[in-house]
Structure 1
Amino acid sequence: MRDNRKLIKNEEKISSSEKVMFCFPYAGGGASAFRNWENGLGSDVAVCPIQLPGREERFGEQPYEDHEELVEDVYSEIRKFSDHDIYLYGHSMGAKIAYAVAEKCENDGIDIKGLIVSGCSAPHIPDYDPIGDLPTEEFREALGKYNCTPQAILQDEELFDMFLPMLRADFMISEGFSFGKSRISCPITALCGTNDDDAHENDVMQWRKYSDEFNCRTFEGDHFFIKEKENDVISYLRKVI
């Protein structure tokens, strides 16, 4: 049985904050991707990254292989904080998880103040080039093009073998989501990179079909513009929330 209490980082800070932003990382990423966000978003916002098993301090744990189980487990923890102003943020795979959690929250009567998605096409648009079930060497090559996995891991056979189960599971999760066109009542803010080959601006703009209140902001950069333009992204998110 999983220890779902480990899913939320910085949980102890929620009680003293009116607002809480739960942050969902991209495939292969962990909570440390958001280490610089806390100070930038202000003292009134508890920044709580979701730490999935199989990475960082949870490296030895079995990664999720089923997106429905993942969403249910995350939701079961987030719902405990329904008396706060909840914002959900996700990048790439994380955006899909955040949307699924937002939908589940609203279906159960939990108010979400905002859904923020970045580097992710709208839910009804399939992945252009899925890689999760590629043979190992082709998968490794594809990861190199994504620029999300350190070269030290990709080029070291032993390291790569250690990280392979988590990386493959994440991409299978991300590419395995199946959505309809369910609208949600909370505002949606979409962020995209000008040179993102994985989530084209027109496809990101399709998120407008999922809420009556929609905004989109473009940043210079590729799929990981949130790293390249981190300060600009944090500044913009501060305005959003």
Structure 2
Amino acid sequence: MGEFTLFGFHHAGGGVSSFSGWQRALGPGVDVVPVALPGRGQDGRSPRYVDLDSLTEALAEDLGPGLSGRHVLYGHSMGALIAYRLARLRARRGQRLPERLIVGAFAAPHLRQSVDATQKLTDSELARWLIDTSDIRADLLSGTERLTAMLARLREDLRICRQHRGAQDTGEPLSCPVDVFAGADDPLVDGAGATGWRRHTSAGCTVHVIPGGHFFPRESKGVFFDELRSLLRSELTEPAVHMA
């Protein structure tokens, strides 16, 4: 058992496989728990939430016992928004917060998001957007059935992201530190989007720029995991409990 748990929240259209290899890369001391969003599993029994508030509520209930111990949250792209909203929900309830909220490839939540522009895209345009913003090869999207299923899942997740309205996000800043990982060449998150997270914490915010685009954890594994391991080692040597 590790000294604390890292809960990982995947990007839009993704799944728990996004965190394949993370446990090996981070090593002992940290238990990596990829979070399966309700309704994304294979059993077909869990409801598939299509709105951000109910999804966050369901996650708070499902993960509740694990969140009572020492933990950090890492969210990538859509996952960053979900991790942030989960931390905000627990803060409002006066519950334990993560030792750190770690967000990757997502602009500060009070800013207009690039995914807003995907609402009116046709399937072919959305497929091109997916190729342009990820390291997925175009030939992997050539199968009509596979492409249709992938785009349907992606549209549902992007719809959830668009429900967040930053102008309505008027709560107090989080009392835990926020670490922002950003790809140097990410077409969806610029410097202002990354540094904008500073207004959402009263405990300090650090921006880590990683070579690569939107999916820098896959494009620059060595640099990314070196930086993340260093960050997590600091948590092991400086234990803290953050309460709302």
The reply to whether TM is greater than 0.5 is yes
Give identity over the alignment, percent: 30
Q: Which residue of 1 aligns with 2:190?
A: 200
Distance in 1 separating the partners of 2:40 and 2:130: 16
Shift of 1:209: 0.9
Residues 170, 145 of structure 1: alpha-carbon distance in 2 compared, 3 angstrom cutoff: same
Kept in 1, the 8 Å contact 2:134–2:213? The answer is no
Distance in 2 separating the partners of 1:93 and 1:37: 19
Establish whether residue 142 from structure 1 lines up as the match of residue 129 from structure 2. yes
- SS of residue matched to 1:140: helix
Distance in 1 separating the partners of 2:65 and 2:133: 35
Residues 58, 171 of structure 1: alpha-carbon distance in 2 compared, 3 angstrom cutoff: farther
Residues 154, 58 of structure 1: alpha-carbon distance in 2 compared, 3 angstrom cutoff: farther
Kept in 2, the 8 Å contact 1:52–1:58? The answer is no
Establish whether residue 42 from structure 1 lines up as the match of residue 32 from structure 2. no
Establish whether residue 18 from structure 1 lines up as the match of residue 3 from structure 2. yes
Q: Which residue of 2 aligns with 1:115?
A: 101
Kept in 1, the 8 Å contact 2:75–2:81? The answer is yes
Q: Which residue of 2 aligns with 1:13?
A: none
Distance in 1 separating the partners of 2:137 and 2:9: 19
Q: Which residue of 1 aligns with 2:51?
A: 66
Kept in 2, the 8 Å contact 1:27–1:92? The answer is yes
Distance in 1 separating the partners of 2:190 and 2:125: 23
Residues 76, 56 of structure 1: alpha-carbon distance in 2 compared, 3 angstrom cutoff: closer
Would you say how many aligned residue pairs link Structure 1 and Structure 2?
226
Kept in 1, the 8 Å contact 2:70–2:99? The answer is yes
Residues 209, 29 of structure 1: alpha-carbon distance in 2 compared, 3 angstrom cutoff: same
Residues 170, 77 of structure 1: alpha-carbon distance in 2 compared, 3 angstrom cutoff: same
CA RMSD of aligned residues (A): 2.3
Kept in 1, the 8 Å contact 2:133–2:187? The answer is no
Distance in 2 separating the partners of 1:148 and 1:156: 18
Q: Which residue of 2 aligns with 1:225?
A: 216
- SS of residue matched to 2:118: coil
Q: Which residue of 2 aligns with 1:7?
A: none
Kept in 1, the 8 Å contact 2:133–2:186? The answer is no
Shift of 1:165: 2.2
Letter in 2 for 1:121: A
Correspondence 1:93-132 to 2 at 5 A:
93-111=78-96, 112-128=98-114, 130-132=117-119
Distance in 2 separating the partners of 1:152 and 1:28: 18
Unaligned runs of 5+ in 2: 233-244
Distance in 2 separating the partners of 1:54 and 1:153: 25
Kept in 1, the 8 Å contact 2:38–2:58? The answer is no
Unaligned runs of 5+ in 1: 1-15
- SS of residue matched to 1:84: coil
Distance in 1 separating the partners of 2:193 and 2:38: 30
Using the size of structure 2 for normalisation, the TM-score is 0.84
Shift of 1:60: 9.6
Establish whether residue 165 from structure 1 lines up as the match of residue 152 from structure 2. yes
Distance in 2 separating the partners of 1:137 and 1:156: 13
Establish whether residue 191 from structure 1 lines up as the match of residue 181 from structure 2. yes
Kept in 2, the 8 Å contact 1:133–1:168? The answer is no
Q: Which residue of 1 aligns with 2:60?
A: 75
Letter in 1 for 2:231: V
Q: Which residue of 1 aligns with 2:76?
A: 91
Using the size of structure 1 for normalisation, the TM-score is 0.85
